[in-house]
């Protein structure tokens, strides 16, 4: 197949291109050339900004296009409109963040969507991310009705993840010692290895699959403790896990998802990690063992060159700090132990 990738040099797009080339597809990457510009020399590269340079694609045709970097509905609409007569299939990489808060228990693809306040569509505002993604889905579908595959992943993890939320836990537990772990160890967690997602995405493209799919996992329930133990097993660490109650973390103004990755206060987000993905499972989505993902992320993390990652990190500056600083973790653990002794 001839596949056009909008993006293709960062995390999700990078693994999509890798998988497509492994399968022998002809890949054209359309991106600005600002990050990892020399990746995949065997693929065709066209440098341009999708907001103003789509004419650089000329009158060419492709069997499919994958949009890995759509965050504004006007931009996605323009891309889909211009390509609608020149591609047969459009994949839009969306997010489970499209769902309105509070997310219902076991939300499937029909759950209510987040709404964007009138007149607001700020690409750098994390608070509107889900609503913007929902509008992007609608725009693509309106321009190419019945020909769009919408993938709504949860927390995507794996090598080259520049957001680094999962990397924090792999790295922190590998370092050993006493580790502050948030909330209940039995609380459910959902995540997906980017390589599993992109393998499945290509399967669907090759079959011409369309429609909406929640895409996170694994198929069997995963707890916070399971995730930490997988990190510990992958590194052979002697880490000691100390679980801290939500109320204490809220009192101490610990930042959910940023300062404390993969944590949301359960009283405010009781069903955040209970998304119904049975439709995707039935369509062939499968998962590698989590310990394999942990080992691969750890190997990548130890070999990475942080200097080369400055551009994408700047692009995500609205996320703020990712991961807790060692001195703060130590202080919170000490205070938690003192409080626990006092109440005993």
User: Is pLDDT at 119 greater than 80 in this prediction?
Assistant: no
281: pLDDT strictly greater than 90: yes
Least confident of 187-196, 225-234, 308-317: 308-317
- For position 320, what pLDDT does the model report? 57
Name the E strands within the chain. Answer: 2-6, 26-31, 44-47, 62-67, 87-93, 148-153, 156-157, 178-182, 188-193, 211-215, 217-223, 240-244
pTM: 0.94
Q: Using one digit for the tens of pLDDT, what is the confidence trace for 282-329?
A: 999 999 999 999 999 999 999 987 656 654 544 444 445 689 999 999
- Quick one: average pLDDT of 143-148? 98
Asked if residue 123 has pLDDT above 80, the reply is no
The CB density around residue 151, as the number of other CB atoms within 10 Å, is 22
Average pLDDT over residues 263-284: 95
Calculate mean pLDDT across residues 158-171.
95
- CA-CA distance, 151 to 197, in Å (whole number)? 9
Mean pLDDT of the chain: 93
As a whole number, mean pLDDT of residues 246-270 equals: 95
Give domain limits for the chain.
2-159+191-218, 165-189+220-270+289-343
Mean pLDDT of 9-37: 95
Give the C-alpha separation, 48 to 304, whole Å: 27
Question: Per-residue confidence at 75, pLDDT binned at 50, 70, 90?
Answer: very high
> Which range, of 49-63, 108-122, 163-177, 210-224, averages the lowest pLDDT?
108-122
CATH topology of domain 2-159+191-218: Rossmann fold (3.40.50)
- Residue 341: pLDDT band with limits 50, 70, 90: confident
**Which string of DSSP letters, residue by residue, matches 227-248?**
HHHHHHHHHT---EEEEE-HHH
Mean pLDDT of the 128-145 span:
96
pLDDT value of position 342: 85
Q: Which pair of structure tokens corresponds to residue 106?
A: 């076991």
């Amino acid at each position: 197949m001839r596949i056009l990738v909008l993006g293709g040099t960062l995390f999700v797009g990078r693994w999509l291109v890798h998988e497509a080339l492994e399968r022998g597809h002809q890949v054209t990457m359309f991106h600005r050339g600002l990050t990892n510009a020399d990746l995949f020399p065997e693929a065709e590269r066209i440098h341009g900004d999708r907001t103003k340079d789509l004419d650089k694609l000329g009158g060419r045709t492709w069997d499919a296009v994958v949009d890995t970097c759509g965050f504004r509905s006007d931009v996605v609409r323009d891309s889909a409109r211009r390509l609608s007569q020149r591609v047969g299939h459009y994949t839009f990489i969306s997010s489970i963040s499209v769902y309105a808060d509070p997310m219902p228990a076991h939300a499937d693809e029909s759950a209510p969507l987040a709404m964007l306040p009138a007149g607001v569509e700020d690409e750098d505002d994390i608070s509107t991310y889900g609503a913007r993604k929902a509008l992007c889905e609608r725009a693509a579908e309106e321009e190419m009705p019945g020909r769009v595959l919408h993938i709504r992943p949860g927390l995507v993890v794996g090598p080259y993840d520049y957001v680094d939320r999962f990397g924090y836990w792999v790295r922190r537990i590998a370092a050993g010692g006493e580790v502050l772990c948030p909330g209940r160890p039995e609380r459910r967690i959902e995540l997906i290895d980017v390589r599993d997602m992109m393998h499945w995405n290509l399967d669907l493209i090759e079959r011409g699959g369309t429609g909406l799919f929640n895409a996170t996992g694994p198929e069997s329930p995963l707890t916070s403790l399971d995730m930490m133990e997988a990190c510990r097993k992958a590194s052979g660490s002697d880490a000691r896990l100390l679980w801290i109650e939500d109320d204490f973390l809220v009192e101490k103004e610990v930042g959910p998802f940023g300062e404390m990755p993969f944590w949301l206060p359960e009283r405010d987000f009781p069903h955040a990690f209970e998304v119904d993905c049975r439709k995707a499972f039935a369509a062939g989505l499968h998962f590698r063992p989590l310990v394999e993902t942990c080992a691969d992320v750890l190997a990548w993390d130890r070999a990475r060159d942080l200097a080369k990652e400055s551009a994408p990190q700047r692009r995500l500056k609205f996320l703020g700090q990712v991961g807790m600083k060692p001195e703060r973790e130590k202080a919170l653990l000490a205070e938690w132990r003192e409080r626990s002794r006092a109440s005993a």
